A = this chain, B = another copy of it.
Amino acid sequence: MRRDLVSGVYRDLQQQICSQLEQADGKSVFTDDNWASEIGYGHTMVFQHGDAIEKAAVNFSAVAGRVTESMKQVLKIEEGQDYFASGISSIIHPLNPFVPIIHMNVRYFELSSGKSWFGGGIDLTPHYVDQEEAAWFHNELKMICNKFDPGCYKKFKDWADTYFYLPHREETRGVGGIFFDHQPAADGSAFEKLFRFTRDLAEAYSRIYIHLLNKNRFRSFTEVEKRWQRLRRGRYVEFNLLYDRGTKFGLESGGRTESIFLSMPPMAAWTYDFKPAEATPEARTLSLLRKGIDWGSYEL
């Protein structure tokens, strides 16, 4: 059965991501809060107080049931049928302000009507935008996209720009990445291709992050840079509580609050009307939090 295949592979990938992150950090380990209920089961893997990673979460779940009113509204799917859903979602908040925040999600949905689809993406939120790193990151995603469907990178990149946006700040959340949803998987070969694509993304996730982590984790930083990191984390909180559909859906459907709020940074700050001085790295970062930037390809 497809659902067992997907949830089995996703659960394995979750464990693989966790052990790779543990190994890279070298200090702390993940704890596994596993749960089971009448709708399914899940593993909430949480990592705290590492050497380079302040907080990381890797969530896996496989659930099934009757489509609810809030699913109908948030996910725009019809009532009166059964659903199955399985996915991994992950977020990493580093200690060093020169290491970015990253987020990844892959998910599979099935309805008793016969419809099924995949969704997901990876996006990067640097506290300080490094254009070369952003280009490298986008290039990594582009290569994975090209294996799946040449041309989809542009579409999924634009989708991320549109989704990870804070209208009240007129800022993107970070340098974006890719985002996709409702990619139909009823057809057998479409399912195979999409399932492979989401596995490739989940596999690339820890590799991409560990590269960025090792590159920057030992850079020295000042209290000014740490403060800026906390302000950027404040924006992350704003996005997640005001706009994120996963958070909204989770809270409205009575999900487990502590699992939903795992995406929250360990500590965030708000300073009234903070404006970085001109020509500072902070000001340059703000100028790069814009939709539609073509990050270009990365040259070794």
| Chain A positions near chain B (C-beta within 8 angstroms) | 33, 46, 48, 55, 57, 168-169, 230, 234, 237-238, 241-242, 251, 257-258, 260-262, 264-273
Contact = CB atoms under 8 A, between A and B. Distances in A.
Given A230-B267, A267-B230, A272 B48 contact: yes
**Copy number in this complex?**
2
B267 A268 contact: yes
Contact of A257 (B48, B168, B251, B260): B168
A238 to B, nearest CB: 6
Given A168-B257, A237-B237, A257-B169, A267 B269 contact: yes
Grouping DSSP codes into helix (H, G, I), strand (E, B) and loop, the A interface class, with mixed when no group exceeds half, is: mixed
Interface centre among A241, A266, A272 (most CB of B within 10 A): A272
Contacts of A273: 33, 46, 258
Contacts of A257: 168-169
Given A169-B257, A258-B273, A267-B267, 14 more contacts: A46-B273, A55-B272, A168-B257, A234-B264, A242-B251, A261-B270, A262-B272, A264-B270, A265-B270, A266-B269, A266-B270, A267-B269, A267-B270, A268-B268
A45 to B, nearest CB: 11
Contacts of A272: 46, 48, 55, 57, 258, 262
A280 to B, nearest CB: 19
23 contacts: A46-B273, A48-B272, A168-B251, A168-B257, A168-B260, A234-B264, A237-B268, A238-B241, A238-B261, A241-B241, A242-B251, A258-B272, A261-B270, A262-B272, A265-B270, A266-B269, A266-B270, A266-B271, A267-B267, A267-B268, A267-B269, A267-B270, A268-B268
